[in-house]
Amino acid sequence: MAEAKFTTIKTTMLERLHVDGFLLFALMCLMGIGLVTIYSSGGQDWNLVNRQLTRLGIALIVMFILAQIPPMAYRRLAVYFYSFGLIMLILVLLVGVIGKGAQRWLDLGVIRFQPSEVMKLAVPLMVAWYISKFNMPPRSRNIAIGFIIVFIPTILIAKQPDLGTSLLVASSGIFALFLSGMTWRLIFFISALGGAFAPIMWFFLMQGYQKQRVLTFLNPESDPLGAGYHIIQSKIAIGSGGVSGKGWLQGTQSQLEFLPERHTDFIFAVFSEEFGLIGVIGLLFIYMCIIIRGLMIANHAQDAFSKLLAGSITLTFFVYVFVNMGMVSGLLPVVGVPLPLISYGGTSMVTLLAGFGILMSISTQKRLMSR
C-alpha cells in the first residue's frame, strides 16, 4: 500500500508544480545533446558550454514560471500582450539598434530586447483568443481578421529584415487558424494566392541578400567559395558523416572549421557529421516525441483557446526543426532559424521554453478548470 501511496504522491508532486514530466524529460534530452554538440563544434571551449548552460537555466525558470499561470490568464492577457509586441515592433523600426545588417533590437539600457521574439508567442495567443471567441469552424470574415492579426507583425519583422522569425511568426498564427477548422477550400485558395504573391515578394519585398540566398539555394555550386560555401560545406559535413558518423569531436568539417556557423544555425551539420544517420534518426525521434506530446496536449485541452494555442505552439516548434534541418541539408534556402534547444544562442531559447511553459500550463491545469 505504501508503494502505491508513494506513486500517487509523486504524480501529484509533478502535477502540483504544473510540470509535464514527459515533455521535461524529452526537452532535457535535447538540451544535453545540444551541450555535447556545442562543446564539440565550439572548439571544445567550456566557456561556450557554460554560457549555454546559464541560458538554459534562465529559460527553464521562465518555463517553470509560465507553467504556473493558468490558461485563462493567458486568454485574458492575449490582447495586451499582442498590442505591446506590435508597439515594440514599430519602435524597433524607428529607433532600433542595428546589428548584423538588420534592425532587430531595442536597447533598453540594461538588456537588449528583441520584440520579434515576443511575437512568436503573442501572435498564436492573439489568434487563439480571437478565433475561440466564436464558434468553430470560424467564418471567412473571422479568418480574414485572423490573417490580418498574423500578417501585420509578420511584415513588420520581415522588414527588419528577419526572414526566419517572420516565417515562424506567420506559421504560428496560420497553424492556429488551420486547427480552428478553416475550410479546405479556403486553405487551397490562400495557398494559390500565396503562390501568386511570391513573385511580388521577390520583386518588391525581398532584400538583395535574401534573393541571393534563394538563388544560392537553387544552385549552391554556382558560387562554391562565395554564397554557396555555407550550404556546400554543410552538405559535405552531413554526407561524410555516413551511417554511423565520424565520432564525437572527430568531425573534420567542424573541427577544422570548414563549416561556418558551426555552433549556431548549422549545428545540425556538426551533429550529423559526428553521429551519422543513426544519431540523426535518434534526434528526430526525440523531436517527434515532443511534437506528438504537444499535439496530444492540444487535443486533450479543455477549451478551444487552449487547444488552438497548444497546437500552434507545437507545430511552430516543428517548423523550427523542419526549416533548420531543411536549410542545413540543402532542402530549403538558408533562413536564420536555429535548431531548437540545440543551437547555441539565448533569445530564441527563452521564447521556446516559454512556449513549452504555456504548453505545460495547458497540460497540467485543466483539472483545476474543470472543477
Partner 1 sequence: MPPKRQIIRDHTAEANLVARRTVVSIVFVCVLMSIIIINLYQLQVVQYEDYQTRSNGNRIKVVPVAPNRGLIYDRNGEILAENKPVFSLEITPEEVGDLDATIKQLSALMSLTDSEVKEFKSNIRRQRRFKPVSVRQQLSHDEVALFSAKQHQFPGVSIEARLSRYYPFKDSLTHMLGYVAKINKKELVRLDEDDQLANYAATHDMGKQGVEKFHEKTLHGKVGYQQVEVNNQGRVIRVLSFEPPLPGRDIVLNIDINLQKKAQEVLAGRRGSVVITDPNDGGVLALYSSPSYDPNLFVHGISQKEYNKLLASKDSPLLNRATQGRYPPASTIKPFLALVGLEEGVIDETTEINDRGTYRLKNVDHVWRDWKKYGHGTVNVTKSIEVSCDIFYYDLAYKLGIDRISESMQLFGFGRHTGIDLLEESSANMPSRGWKRARFNEPWYIGDTIPVGIGQSYWNATPLQLAQALNFLINKGQRHTPRLIKGYMVEGAVDVLPVEIQSPIPIVDEYNWDIVLDALYGTVNRSHGTARGAFKDTDYVSAGKTGTAQLFSVAQDAEYDEENVSARLKDNAMYIGYAPYVDPEISISVIIENAGGGSSNAAPAARVVMDYYFSEVKPNGIALKTKKNASDSISQARVSANTAAIITTETSGG
CA atoms lying within 13 Å on the CB side of residue 247: 1
Residue 329 or 361 having the CB closest to partner 1: 329
Residue 169: count of CB within 10 angstroms of its CB: 31
Please state at what angle helix 229-241 crosses helix 267-300, rounded to 10 degrees. 80
Among 190, 178, 167, 151, residue whose Cα is nearest residue 295 = 178
Residue 27 or 269 having the CB closest to partner 1: 269
CA atoms lying within 13 Å on the CB side of residue 322: 11
Does residue 174 interact with partner 1 by CB under 8 A?
no
Q: Which of residues 58-97 bind partner 1 (CB under 8 A)?
A: none
Does residue 180 interact with partner 1 by CB under 8 A?
yes
Does residue 295 interact with partner 1 by CB under 8 A?
yes
Q: Which of residues 32-61 bind partner 1 (CB under 8 A)?
A: none
Q: For the chain, first and last CA: distance in Å?
A: 28
Does residue 299 interact with partner 1 by CB under 8 A?
yes
Does residue 248 interact with partner 1 by CB under 8 A?
no
Residues 6+ apart with CB under 8 A from 223: 216, 229
Eight-class DSSP state of 223: S
Minimum Å gap between C-beta 184 and partner 1 is 10
Minimum Å gap between C-beta 338 and partner 1 is 16
Does residue 218 interact with partner 1 by CB under 8 A?
no
Does residue 346 interact with partner 1 by CB under 8 A?
no
Does residue 148 interact with partner 1 by CB under 8 A?
no
Binding mask 301-320 for partner 1 (x = CB under 8 A): ---x--xx--x---x--x--
For 246-309, the DSSP string reads S-TT--HHHHTT-SSSTTTTTHHHHHHHHHHHHHHHHHHHHHHHHHHHHHHHHHH-SSHHHHHH
CB 71 within 8 A of CB 305: yes
Query: CA torsion sign, 283 to 331 to 335 to 198?
Result: negative
Does residue 126 interact with partner 1 by CB under 8 A?
no
Judged by CB under 8 A, the stretch of 30-38, 75-83, 194-202, 239-247 that binds partner 1 is 239-247
Does residue 329 interact with partner 1 by CB under 8 A?
yes
Question: Which residues are near partner 1 by CB under 8 A?
Answer: 134-137, 175, 178-181, 233, 235-243, 252-253, 256-258, 272, 276-277, 280-281, 284, 288, 291-292, 295, 298-299, 304, 307-308, 311, 315, 318, 322, 325-326, 329-331
